[in-house]
Structures are given as structure tokens and as C-alpha cells.
Chain A
Amino acid sequence: MKAAWKEKAIRLILFATASTSILIVIGIFVFVGKEAGQFAIKPGLKELLGSRWMPVSFQKESFGLLPLITGSLLVTALATLITIPFGIGAAVYISELARPTEREILKPFIEVLASIPSVVIGFFGLVVLVPLIKSSFGLSTGLTALAGAVLLALMAIPTVVSISEDAIRSVPVSYKAASLALGASKMETIWKVTVPAALPGIVAAIMLGIGRVIGETMAVMMVTGNAAVITASPFDSVRTMTATIAAEMGEVAFGSTHYRALFCVGIVLLLATFGLNIIAQKFLKKYRMG
């Protein structure tokens, strides 16, 4: 009797801890939405479509989100371009080609990369990477979208590697056996059989990597120069949504239009990461079924 009661209590506590995160997600949406909603009423959502972000001004405050969204997109796209070859290459090597001892060394080191605090990565970027980019491309400054993208790629690669590696490893051995039996070489088997079979998992890994990248703040803020301009060049300075919130929230007058505009930026960011995660989950499910 007593044991059953105890079990029930433990069950209840565990259920509570498990459902807390759902409550928190809902809570975040409600509270962020509340402040952003007030922006929609007062200056109106049209204000957000402008191409000028100038929240502190004696002339006219503008809250156009376009430069921030394009800034985030540019940095994220560049980071993804860098992450994909490195991430998949490393995953293929570790899961298919590496000797056991190599794997023992490579995996922990790649995972350590994921645990470095982003401020430290940002500091490394500011002192090492920014001057390097400046001198190797002959720019007047290295504070560019490219610098941010390289740092973000560093942070996304561990996620992509460990999930892709998992996906590649769970490809049934019979596929490879069949390919080898038909006379395909090891490389042909890897690129034409194993990797395509693991593709949904790899895509999910990339999506989760991008999810991490788009929400990253500190490192990007330190190296991208944060000028709110619309550009497609990796050698221009950009201002990301995360950096904007982090930089401006501290000093903004509570309850002002600017304050609410920052919550609107937060909503856009939240929806973007939310969407990416849902897509990633879909792909992950597909490869677990298959």
C-alpha cells in the first residue's frame, strides 16, 4: 500500500517536471505576444516593414525590421554553407572510415567545441578572426557578416556532426552489404548508398544546427559590427535580431514603443526557430521510421 502511494507521488512529480517545459513555452509566447501586441495597436505593424532601424533618434524613431531580418538571414545562410561540408564530412569520416582509436579522440574533441561558451568564442573572433579576415580579403575592417558566420559555424558543427553521425550509423548494414556485393567501392557505397539513406537524419541535423545558429547572440554581436543596413555581401557589416535585442533591452525605457518593438523582434525570432525545429522533427521522424 505504502509503496504504491510512494510510486504515485514520484510519478506525479516526474509528470510535473516533464510538463513544466510545455507551460514555459506557452508562457513565453503569451508574455512576449502581449508586449508585441501593444506595438501592433499603437504604431501599427506597418511600422515594422520599413527598411530603417533607428530606435534612438531625436528626429524620428524608426522600427523597420527588414535590415535585422536580412542581417540574421545572411549570417545564418553563410554559416550553413560553411557548416554543411564540414559537418557531413566529419560525420562520414567518424562513422564510416575512422579507426576506433581515431573515433575515440575525434568525437570528444568535437563535442568539447559545443561546450565552449559563446562569449569566449566571440572574444576569440574579435581578437583572432576579425584581423585575419581584414588582412586576407584586404578590407578596411574585419567586422563583417562573414566573421559572424564563421563563428556560428564553429558552434553549429558539433550538433550537425553528432546527429548526422547517428543517422549514418543507423543505416541498416544490409544496404552496405548489398552495395559492396554488387561490386561498388567503399567510397561509392558511402556517397551513393549510405549517405542518401541517412539523408533525412542529416537534413534534420542541419536544421537543428541552423536553429542553434539563428538564436545565437553574444559571439555574433561581438564581430559583425552591428550596422543596421540591408546587404547581401558577406563583407558588409550586419545587425542580427538577437544582437539587437541583447544590446538594446538593457537601456530601453520600460513600456516605450522601442521596448515593444524589441518584443516584436523576439516574436519573429521565436517563430523562425519554432518553424525550423518543427521541420527538423519531421525529418527526424521520417528517418526513424525508415
Chain B
Amino acid sequence: MPVEILLELKRKRIIGEKIKMNEKAEKITRKIFFSAVTFVIGLMLISGCSRHEDSTGSEQRFITIKGSDTMVHLASSWAETFMTQNPDIEISVTGGGSGTGIAALLNGTTDICAASRKIKNKELELALQKNIHPHEIAVAKDGIAVVVHPDNPVKELTLEHLSKIFTDKSFRWSDVGGANEEILVLSRESSSGTYVFFQEMVLKKQDFMQNAKLMPATSAIIQSVSTDKLAIGYVGLGYALAAKDKVKIIAVKADDNSPAVMPSDQTVKTGQYPIARPLFMYLNGEPQGTVKKFTDFCLSAAGQAVVTDTGYVTIR
């Protein structure tokens, strides 16, 4: 029976190979295990060290800012400029979203909350329950631009058109002077401050239609609008201007009789462009000490110059 002997031999070889593999696997597992343990211990040490003591009053040397992702870039630019002028003060900036920032303010884990929307009534109630008194400061403005594919013939839309486009499934491009095609509606995620602002300001508090595609990031909206001919989306003014060669920015009319306005620094500041929003900082109570020094800086001429540099619109 030569076949069986052959197979027998083959099996032995396979088994031998398996044992070798097992040894190898064991070695690797051991290595992984030890590096994982070292990593976890390292993490514990780091997190233990970074816990800083909160001191209040004028001697505070460490400020934390947490909140809106839209404002992270702005807030960290402010922090950098401020820290070069005041080398003994340290400011840490983190994002996570306006809601996260407000939650942190309520839990007392941040000094300043950056928010691209107003605090909600529910959040205010929660704050008062926790004996925290949110103090609001408007620090800059942001315009929201409506963008379409460069080949789209539509140049201007009224707020009413926009509202219909984003809420009514049967509304087509031909209803606003374009091709007789369906409109591919792109929106930010419902967690975005921009989403809520657009809903309130443009949709007049109606719900977005359920078919609207919710994109996880502004860059994803720009990417889709630049490739899909029937798409329409909305993004922050800074992003739209940066992507000017990939997408077309729509001029917006407040109503049928008003002139169509292109979004720009000037038109947002003067209020001619209808889709603009203020950006806020929230504190617990009136600003004091170092925090006051920082918020005063943000509103000063030097601070507002940073606003212009980062693509937002000054408040004054």
C-alpha cells in the first residue's frame, strides 16, 4: 500500500510543521502580551501624571478649552498667540463637539467651552441644577456656503428654494432652472452645530428629508459635491473658499425681491449674506483672572486678526 504510506509520511510532516508553528506562535504571543502590559502600565503612568491641580483666581496658570470641532482650529490659533505673549500660562484645546464641550463645562472639567451653537434650554436647566451659571460670549462669526457641482447651471437660490430642496423629496433641479433630474441632497451629521444652524435658519425648523445623505465630515461633502453632478451641500465659508476650484458656491437671496449675495467676509459681517452664525465661548459665571485675560484677548484687535487669518469672520 504505497499510497497510504506516502500519505502517512505527509501527515507526519504536516504535524511536525504544526508543532513548529505552535512554538513560534507561543513566542509571538508572549512578546505581544508583554508589550501590551508595558503599554497599559505606561498609559496609567501618563494619565496619572497629567492630572493637574485646578487653582482658581488670578493665579491660575492652566486653562482648558473644549468644544466645537468647527472652532478647534480657531481656538488653538488664539491659544498659541496668547501663550507667546504670556509664556507663563498654558492653554490646552480639545474638540469633540459643542455638546461635549457643554457637558464638560457642566461637569466642571473645562474652564471654557467653545460652541458653534447657543446652549439649549435643557442644558441650561441641567447647569442650574448643578449650580453652574453659563456665561455667553460671542467671539467670531461663521458664514455657511451652499455648494454644487461646477457644471451645474444653477447660480442663485432663494432661502425658500433651499428649504424646499432640503425638505421636499419631489423637488427637482428643473424647479430652480436646472436639468430635469433628481437632487442629491447632502447634509452634515445631526451632531454637527452646522446641521442645527442650517435647520433653524434655512429650513425654518422643519426636519431634513429622510433621504438626505448625512456625511461625517465637511471634506466628505466637498469630495461628493465635486464628483456628483446632481449634488448640493452646505459647508462652512472657510472650507468653501478653500475648495473654490472644486465646487461652485451658490449666491443666496433672502427672498424673491432681494439681491443674490455671494458669501464673503464682507457680506457675512454686514449681515447681507443671510446664512451666517455667531460662534460662542461659554464660561461658568463672569470671566475672572486669567480666563478673563484670555477672553479679552480674543475680542481685542490682535485676537480678531487671528479670526481673519483662520478663515472666519470678525465679530466687530
Contacts and interface: CB of A to CB of B under 8 A. Distances in A.
Interface of A: 17, 52, 54-59, 67, 126-127, 131, 134, 140-141, 143, 169, 173-174, 176-177, 180-181, 221-222, 225-229, 237, 239, 243, 247-256
B215 interface: yes
Given A141-B224, A254-B103, A247 B4 contact: no
**B102, B107, B206, B214, most chain A CB atoms within 10 A:** B214
A62 B106 CA distance: 26
A134 B214 contact: no
A251 B207 contact: no
B3 A180 contact: yes
A247 B216 contact: yes
B195 A56 contact: yes
Nearest to A143: B213
A251 B7 contact: no
B103 A253 contact: yes
A228 B10 contact: no
B71 to A, nearest CB: 13
19 contacts: A52-B210, A54-B207, A54-B208, A56-B196, A67-B210, A176-B7, A226-B215, A227-B212, A227-B213, A229-B211, A243-B216, A248-B189, A250-B99, A251-B192, A252-B99, A253-B99, A253-B122, A253-B126, A254-B126
Contacts of A54: 207-208, 210
A177 B7 contact: yes
B33 to A, nearest CB: 9
Top-7 shortest CB links A-B: A251-B191, A58-B205, A225-B213, A251-B97, A251-B99, A254-B103, A250-B97
A255 B227 CA distance: 40
Contacts of A222: 216, 220
B310 interface: no
Contacts of A243: 216
Contact of B220 (A56, A126, A228, A237): A126
**A58, A131, A229, A237, most chain B CB atoms within 10 A:** A58
B99 A254 contact: yes
A59 B208 CA distance: 11
B138 to A, nearest CB: 20
B51 interface: no
Contacts of A229: 210-211
Contacts of B206: 58-59
B274 interface: no
Contacts of B271: none
Contacts of A52: 210
A128 B278 CA distance: 37
B65 interface: no
Contact of A173 (B10, B123, B228): B10
Contacts of A169: 14
Nearest to A60: B207
B7 to A, nearest CB: 5
Nearest to A223: B220
B120 A247 contact: no
Given A248-B191, A254-B126, A56 B214 contact: no
Interface string B208-240: 101111111000100110011011000000000
B10 A55 contact: no
A71 B8 CA distance: 51
Interface string B189-204: 1111101100110000
B289 interface: no
A126 B196 contact: no
B253 to A, nearest CB: 23
B216 A56 contact: no
A58 B195 CA distance: 12
A226 B210 contact: no
A251 B126 contact: no
A236 to B, nearest CB: 9
Nearest to B116: A251
B170 to A, nearest CB: 15
Contacts of B190: 55-56, 247-248, 251
A237 B213 CA distance: 7
A41 to B, nearest CB: 17
Nearest to A255: B126
A59 B220 contact: no
A57 B8 CA distance: 70
A249 B211 CA distance: 21
B182 interface: yes
Given A56-B199, A58-B199, A250-B191, A177 B4 contact: yes
B213 A226 contact: yes
B228 A141 contact: yes
B216 A226 contact: yes
Interface in B148-173: none
B98 interface: yes
A194 B225 CA distance: 51
B11 interface: yes
Given A173-B7, A173-B11, A58 B214 contact: no
Nearest to A172: B11
A251 B192 CA distance: 7
A57 B122 CA distance: 14
B66 to A, nearest CB: 12
A177 B10 CA distance: 11
A64 B135 CA distance: 36
B100 interface: yes
B178 interface: no
